[in-house]
A and B are shown apart, each in its own frame.
Chain A
Amino acid sequence: MVGITSYGAYIPRYRLNRKTIFAAMGWFNSATAGVARGEKAVANYDEDCVTMAVAAALDCLNGIARDEIGGLYLSSTTVPYLERQNAAICAAALALRVDIRTADFGASLKSGTTALISACDAVKSGDIKNFLVCAADSRQGKPGSSMEHTFGDGAAALIVGKDDVIAELKGSYSITSDIADYRRTQEERFTRGWEERWIRDEGYGKIIPEAVNGLLEKYNLEIGDFAKVVISCPVGGALNSICKKMGIESERIQDNMMNSIGDTGSSLSLMMLVAALEEAKAGDKILVVGYGNGSDALFFEVTDQIEKARDRMGIKRHLEHKEELDNYVKYLVYRDLIPVEIGIRGEEAPPIRLSLMHREGKTLTALCGSKCKVCGTPQYPKQRVCINPGCGAIDQMDDYYFYDKVGRIKSFTGDRLAFTIDPPATYGLIDFDEGGRLYLDITDCDLDSLKVGTYVKMGLRRRYADKRRGIYAYFWKAVPILEKNA
């Protein structure tokens, strides 16, 4: 049996109410009134696809040993690097083994489901036992466009394996179509679309039923066999009309989350699948349809193992943890769409030493420190001489990872002198419950909400964006959590 063995998701903390967008840009394109409903999830200034994919993967791994993972596919149409494998950055941050298969899947919005099918094939072949599939997107619509309203940010992660499967992949059917409904060239930052009515009719309206019918025919199924139908169609009208034509009642249609998250591109299908799994029960058949330059239709059957995989942030709990971004201009600054005066101090960023980052890769990307074999003190970064003033043992260290540890704020400040695109620069000393202390940036919080003793978890974030030299550097920050196990 091959299928999904674990799931996880990530939705950034900020939500932008579409009325806020319309209030700012509706004067320019009054036709966007039709899509100016609900809210969309917006990545923080220090987040991108790599950080969101890693966050979803951490939710999905949830205690599963990193050494068990034999492959990682990252699906995204908005990767930070066009040359340099983004999946490899994720694998490094997650401290996966080096003898694994990694690849970036992209370009098409259906690359999320394609990556999932490919991972299942790899597991089926027997080559790889457990495959991690991550999908994350953060697409940008031009200010004043309807895509500015509809696009949202988020990520999903799934592990595919043979043991303890919670949803077995029973089959899939794919079609390819060179339909240029949405497109973006190498030089462009913003997605372009052809006329929406044409996409609705010739795109979603034709291609999705073709894939679904192909699957039903191939496996001799009826649409009524499925307890849940996951169709990654971000246009509500198109989705309803497809379902109506195919005879899918509304209670069996998985919510496309357009009112709460938005169109998360290549990760939409997998995020919707995670949401479906959160509600699924043993025996449920789930149909998953990815759309983009064709379509992938996948057929899962949920097993009784599903109950063992409930302890996740997933979609549901992430939706509850949100903060409104009530300032459209701030959103533009976060997305680097308008220049701001960063001052001479901000311009003085020294170059990032890539050879150093490579040498200290485990330390910097996977937050690996060390634990003294003599006194048991966790410490960061890895030390040759034990930092415990009462110990001082030399070269008695084991690797020790902090990225999955919970800590508490010992001291903190909001610094208005230090340069950051989101002042004040908030940082502090973090004492970890299992020992060890780190000096860390604190993100996804309001300064006023912090106290000495506030619990934090670790989140990978974009630490430096050196546009002059084309380098993004990642490091971990402390993210406040409400309770210890959040």
Chain B
Amino acid sequence: MGCTKFGEQWDKSSEDLIVEAYKEAAEDAGIEIKDIDAAWYASCFEEVNVGRGGIPLARALKFPNIPVTRVENFCTSGTEAIRGACYAVASGACDIALALGCEKLKDTGFGGLPDLGTGEESRFYYPNLTAPGMFAQIANAYFAKYGLSREEGKRVLARISWKSHQNGAMNPRAHLRSTPSMDIIINAPIISDPLGLFDCCGVSDGAAAAIVVPADKAKEFRPDPIYIKALQISLTPATGIGHQSWDGIHLESTRVPGVKAYEEAGIKNPREEISLMELHDCFSISELITYESLQISPIGKARKDVEDGFFDLDGKIPCQSDGGLKCFGHPIGASGIRMAYEIYKQLQGKAEPEERQLKTNPILGLTHNHGGICGSLVCSVAMFGNEL
């Protein structure tokens, strides 16, 4: 696998990022461009400097007339690319597939993401939604339902971001490497009430890549391959926005693929069996509700685990050991593959620098993405292990 530094890469084009992620992955797997049978390319906002279709990837790497498919499914795009590559390999259609995600977001001229692109018609009837705005609503609804005052709620959320900053600070490839205090996090300027600046992830440029081969041939490429144990994606069809059955907080589109992924990977007790997780912490609140939707913490009670340090680097299930979207950054199309990259390195015992490596001999990791419009989200859950 390969992954560039994420961040404000003013001096790098999408081509630079794609080639850099690819080179690390190819070297890691010991392959060359001519060995690749098919490629899946993930990018979300094609209008910002990347371009449509599979062309940006094929053009950058000069693939010799192989199938190159662009996938876009909001923030799960990277995981969708892995899914495409895995299904192709699993079906026997190809032996070596590349999944690569890249996003250049920092040429918009403003902070945050570009317009979400919900379609011409819905643009008239949806409010002028932003990602922080949608998740801020979940935070307000969560506080109201589970009886947290605004101050209590903000403190719990701040603790989540604080932990990710501690992790990100240790990672040279992370976008944001500061270690703000709880007070600074809590009192930061509001982006979308009640979420402040430090409740929101970095918007970054970056790329990440994975080489996928059949499991039974993986050791021909390197002695310590990582195996994909589960790969699930689910999309809620706008019922949350248009039907009162959604509580406005927990996402069915996370719970459902979570259940299916545990079944696929043979997990009975996720809280006990999972070694580490990379959750889609686009906002602190989304990490909080995901602990609960993935059955790690009881519904409405993740606060205790957060405060107990359960998800810290030295906790029972470290979350966002690389800094997460919060600090490693969030170039949309690359993020799912970046998460897999961190799990891959941790399960191999090769996380860098050494002080970041978990000392608990991790064997099973989980990645999770969600994107789109709250109430109509697409979510992915993937699981990785270091044994077949």
Q: Given A353-B120, A415-B133, A452-B141 in contact, is the A437-B110 Cβ separation under 8 Å?
A: no
Indicate with 1 or 0, residue by residue over B94-121, a CB within 8 angstroms of chain A CB atoms: 0000000000000011111011000011
**A345 interface residue per 8 A CB criterion:** yes
**A238 interface residue per 8 A CB criterion:** no
Chain B positions within 8 Å of A440 at CB level: 127
Contact of A381 among B125, B129, B140 (CB under 8 A): B125
Q: Of all chain A residues, which has the CB nearest B109?
A: A344
Q: Given A357-B124, A379-B243 in contact, is the A415-B248 Cβ separation under 8 Å?
A: no
**B136 interface residue per 8 A CB criterion:** yes
Task: Give the CA-CA distance A415 to B126 in the complex, in Å.
Answer: 14
Interface contact B193-A414, CB-CB below 8 Å: yes
Chain A positions within 8 Å of B124 at CB level: 356-357, 360, 364, 463, 473, 475
Q: Of all chain B residues, which has the CB nearest A391?
A: B243
Q: A389-B239, A418-B192 are in contact. List 16 more A-B contacts (CB 8 A).
A: A343-B110, A344-B110, A345-B110, A348-B115, A363-B125, A387-B238, A388-B245, A411-B138, A413-B136, A415-B128, A415-B192, A416-B189, A427-B133, A429-B241, A437-B244, A439-B127
Task: Give the CA-CA distance A452 to B248 in the complex, in Å.
Answer: 11
Task: Give the CA-CA distance A459 to B380 in the complex, in Å.
Answer: 38
**A35 interface residue per 8 A CB criterion:** no
Contact of B242 among A353, A436, A441 (CB under 8 A): A436
Task: Give the CA-CA distance A363 to B239 in the complex, in Å.
Answer: 18
Contact of B137 among A353, A383, A389, A411 (CB under 8 A): A411
Chain B positions within 8 Å of A425 at CB level: 127-128, 130, 133
Q: Of all chain B residues, which has the CB nearest A381?
A: B125
Q: Given A348-B115, A411-B138, A428-B137 in contact, is the A417-B191 Cβ separation under 8 Å?
A: yes
Interface contact B192-A350, CB-CB below 8 Å: no
Interface contact A379-B133, CB-CB below 8 Å: no
Task: Give the CA-CA distance A437 to B110 in the complex, in Å.
Answer: 32
Interface contact B112-A345, CB-CB below 8 Å: yes
- A367 CB → nearest B CB, Å: 9
- A313 CB → nearest B CB, Å: 25
Interface contact B244-A435, CB-CB below 8 Å: yes
**B123 interface residue per 8 A CB criterion:** yes
Interface contact B127-A447, CB-CB below 8 Å: no
**CB-CB contacts below 8 Å: B158-205 with A:** 189-195
Q: Of all chain A residues, which has the CB nearest B135?
A: A413
**A420 interface residue per 8 A CB criterion:** yes
**B93 interface residue per 8 A CB criterion:** no
- Chain A contact residue count (CB 8 A cutoff): 49
**A330 interface residue per 8 A CB criterion:** no
**B144 interface residue per 8 A CB criterion:** yes
**B365 interface residue per 8 A CB criterion:** no
**A380 interface residue per 8 A CB criterion:** yes
- B279 CB → nearest A CB, Å: 21
Q: Given A427-B133, A440-B127 in contact, is the A452-B144 Cβ separation under 8 Å?
A: yes
Interface contact B375-A429, CB-CB below 8 Å: yes
**CB-CB contacts below 8 Å: A205-260 with B:** none
Number of A-B contacts (CB under 8 A): 137
- A429 CB → nearest B CB, Å: 6
The secondary structure that dominates the B interface is loop
Chain A positions within 8 Å of B136 at CB level: 413-415
Q: Taking each of A345, A350, A419, A475, which has the highest tally of chain B beta carbons within 10 Å of its own beta carbon?
A: A345
Q: Of all chain A residues, which has the CB nearest B132?
A: A417
**A412 interface residue per 8 A CB criterion:** yes
- A369 CB → nearest B CB, Å: 8
Interface contact B128-A419, CB-CB below 8 Å: yes
Task: Give the CA-CA distance A413 to B194 in the complex, in Å.
Answer: 7
Task: Give the CA-CA distance A383 to B125 in the complex, in Å.
Answer: 14
Task: Give the CA-CA distance A54 to B112 in the complex, in Å.
Answer: 36
Task: Give the CA-CA distance A348 to B130 in the complex, in Å.
Answer: 14
Task: Give the CA-CA distance A447 to B193 in the complex, in Å.
Answer: 9
Interface contact B244-A416, CB-CB below 8 Å: no
Q: Given A380-B125, A416-B191, A416-B192 in contact, is the A437-B243 Cβ separation under 8 Å?
A: yes
A–B pairs, 25, beta carbons within 8 Å: A344-B109, A348-B115, A356-B121, A363-B125, A380-B242, A381-B121, A383-B242, A388-B243, A388-B245, A411-B141, A413-B137, A416-B189, A416-B193, A417-B112, A417-B133, A417-B191, A429-B241, A429-B248, A435-B244, A438-B125, A438-B242, A441-B128, A451-B144, A452-B140, A475-B124
The secondary structure that dominates the A interface is mixed
Interface contact A437-B242, CB-CB below 8 Å: yes
Q: Given A417-B133, A427-B133 in contact, is the A350-B112 Cβ separation under 8 Å?
A: no
Chain A positions within 8 Å of B112 at CB level: 345, 417
**A377 interface residue per 8 A CB criterion:** yes
Chain A positions within 8 Å of B138 at CB level: 411
Chain B positions within 8 Å of A379 at CB level: 242-243
**CB-CB contacts below 8 Å: B328-370 with A:** none
Chain A positions within 8 Å of B244 at CB level: 410, 431, 435-437
Interface contact B241-A427, CB-CB below 8 Å: no
Chain A to chain B: the 5 pairs with minimum beta-carbon distance, closest first:
A427-B127, A415-B133, A413-B136, A411-B137, A411-B141
Task: Give the CA-CA distance A436 to B136 in the complex, in Å.
Answer: 22
Indicate with 1 or 0, residue by residue over A381-398, a CB within 8 angstroms of chain B CB atoms: 101000111000000000
Interface contact A356-B120, CB-CB below 8 Å: yes
Chain A positions within 8 Å of B120 at CB level: 353, 356
Interface contact B140-A344, CB-CB below 8 Å: no
Chain B positions within 8 Å of A381 at CB level: 121, 125
**CB-CB contacts below 8 Å: B278-299 with A:** none
Q: Taking each of A380, A416, A431, which has the highest tally of chain B beta carbons within 10 Å of its own beta carbon?
A: A416
**A424 interface residue per 8 A CB criterion:** yes
Q: Of all chain B residues, which has the CB nearest A367?
A: B125
Chain A positions within 8 Å of B239 at CB level: 387-389
Interface contact B125-A387, CB-CB below 8 Å: no
Q: Of all chain B residues, which has the CB nearest A380?
A: B242
Task: Give the CA-CA distance A452 to B189 in the complex, in Å.
Answer: 23
- A236 CB → nearest B CB, Å: 43
Q: Of all chain A residues, which has the CB nearest B131?
A: A417
Chain A positions within 8 Å of B129 at CB level: 418, 427, 439
- B66 CB → nearest A CB, Å: 36
Q: Of all chain A residues, which has the CB nearest B134?
A: A413
- B200 CB → nearest A CB, Å: 9
Chain B positions within 8 Å of A353 at CB level: 120
- B170 CB → nearest A CB, Å: 29
Task: Give the CA-CA distance A203 to B224 in the complex, in Å.
Answer: 95
- A439 CB → nearest B CB, Å: 5
Q: Of all chain A residues, which has the CB nearest B248?
A: A411
**CB-CB contacts below 8 Å: A462-486 with B:** 463, 473, 475
Task: Give the CA-CA distance A410 to B191 in the complex, in Å.
Answer: 20
Chain A positions within 8 Å of B137 at CB level: 411-413, 428-429
Task: Give the CA-CA distance A418 to B127 in the complex, in Å.
Answer: 9
Task: Give the CA-CA distance A327 to B285 in the complex, in Å.
Answer: 35
Interface contact A410-B190, CB-CB below 8 Å: no
Contact of B241 among A350, A439, A441, A447 (CB under 8 A): A439
Chain B positions within 8 Å of A380 at CB level: 125, 242
Q: Of all chain B residues, which has the CB nearest A389?
A: B239
**CB-CB contacts below 8 Å: A313-358 with B:** 343-345, 348, 350, 353, 356-357
